[in-house]
A and B are shown apart, each in its own frame.
Chain A
Amino acid sequence: MRSKSERWWRDSDFGGIYRELFPLIFRVAFRIAGERGLAEDLAHEAFLRLLNRDAPLPSIDETKYWLLRVVRNLSLNHEKRRARERRAVGRLEQEGPRLAVPADTPLMQAAARDAVQEALNELPHNMRSAIVLREYAGMNYRDIASVLGISEGNVKVRLHRARRQLARLLSDGVPHVS
């Protein structure tokens, strides 16, 4: 007997799903992650997990929401881990001699990014993912709520705060790199 995932990709058209959903998934990944390399890793991982699923999702919309949820969760985990590592490096810097920053750190890549993405990166993850789903995926409050697993009221509050903060950051000129 062949494995389930082997069968379902034979029956359905993975290439078609990829072609239809990749641009959206990648844009959202890029805007949430803030850098291209990480966005590609997130999008790759999300489609890989789709490929490894035992059963297909019932519709293209549900496939889209599933992929968006995976991208959002992966990026949140990545950010938490990076914050932990940064705290650890901070402790080391206080204790011992200053560590040299390698050339390819997110900090260096940040210099090449534009002010809008910089401002987005300054938002807390929960506000950022809400505004990105709204502005780059064109989703309504109900769908954003379903992807983020929160209430519609909560979506409204996060979007309001995200906009207020973005308006402030962008009117201050180029935001500082934290």
Chain B
Amino acid sequence: MCPERALLSPYVDNEIGPAGARRVELHVAECRSCREQLRAYQTVSHALLESREPDVSAAGDRIWRRLDTMRGALRGQASFWTRGVRVPAPVAVALMAGVTLFLTSVAMWSRVNDARLELPAFGAAAVGAAAVGVIAASAQPVQWLEQGAIVIQLPDEPQFIQRGMPTILREAELTTVSARPAALP
């Protein structure tokens, strides 16, 4: 095979100096095989650029709206207490596990007390009420998440992809975007 063959692709890309370009041009004038190869490469480049593509501006609008719903958490002045917090995903999982464990132990504890220590009715009721309170409070974080006050921080490495995330966001888009369409900047 001709040594010039390896220069054809860089020649198409304008990545060889004038001397290299001259060498390629002289060679392809003589060599039919390399000439055909060069023409094939140029045809490929042309075909790539001519090939159909989806509507870029429609895609741009759709993704801007998706981003806009995510940006809610970054908007608006907030006091120390109402400001959004970022929770790393492992911590969020640990917290949820902790709440579940706590609720379970409260329930167990009250049952144990009911059975063995014959806690006065008033005490048992108080424990029961506390458990109900904790259960009610555990709905609050979900609300915070929905309002974007808590953002669960997923790993930031480029190797990490958020599985299932796009589907969730598309759902969110259906509910929020129809109500409040965001304009492109």
Contacts and interface: CB of A to CB of B under 8 A. Distances in A.
Interface of A: 2-3, 5-6, 9, 13-16, 18-19, 22-23, 26-27, 30, 36, 39-41, 43-45, 47-49, 51-52, 69-70, 73-74, 77-78, 81, 114, 116-117, 120, 131, 134-136, 140-141, 156, 159-160, 163, 166-167, 170-171
Describe A's contact surface by its main secondary structure: helix
Q: B interface, how many residues as a size bin?
A: 35 or more
B53 A167 contact: no
A134 B54 contact: no
Given A26-B60, A47-B67, A163-B41, A135 B161 contact: no
Contact of B10 (A73, A81, A156): A156
A159 B47 CA distance: 16
10 contacts: A5-B74, A6-B74, A18-B67, A36-B59, A44-B67, A44-B169, A51-B67, A52-B156, A74-B161, A136-B48
Contacts of A40: 59, 62-63
A45 B162 contact: yes
Interface of B: 6, 8-10, 12-13, 15, 37, 40-41, 43-45, 47-54, 56-57, 59-60, 62-64, 66-67, 70-71, 74, 83-84, 86, 153, 156, 158-162, 165-166, 169, 184-185
A43 to B, nearest CB: 6
A29 to B, nearest CB: 9
A63 B47 CA distance: 29
Given A16-B185, A116-B48, A167-B44, 11 more contacts: A9-B74, A23-B60, A26-B60, A26-B63, A48-B70, A77-B159, A116-B51, A163-B44, A166-B44, A167-B37, A171-B40
Contacts of B53: 27, 30
Contact of B67 (A48, A69, A170): A48
Contacts of B45: 135, 163
A118 to B, nearest CB: 10
Contacts of B184: 15, 19
B60 A167 contact: no
Contacts of B50: 116
Contacts of B10: 141, 156, 159-160
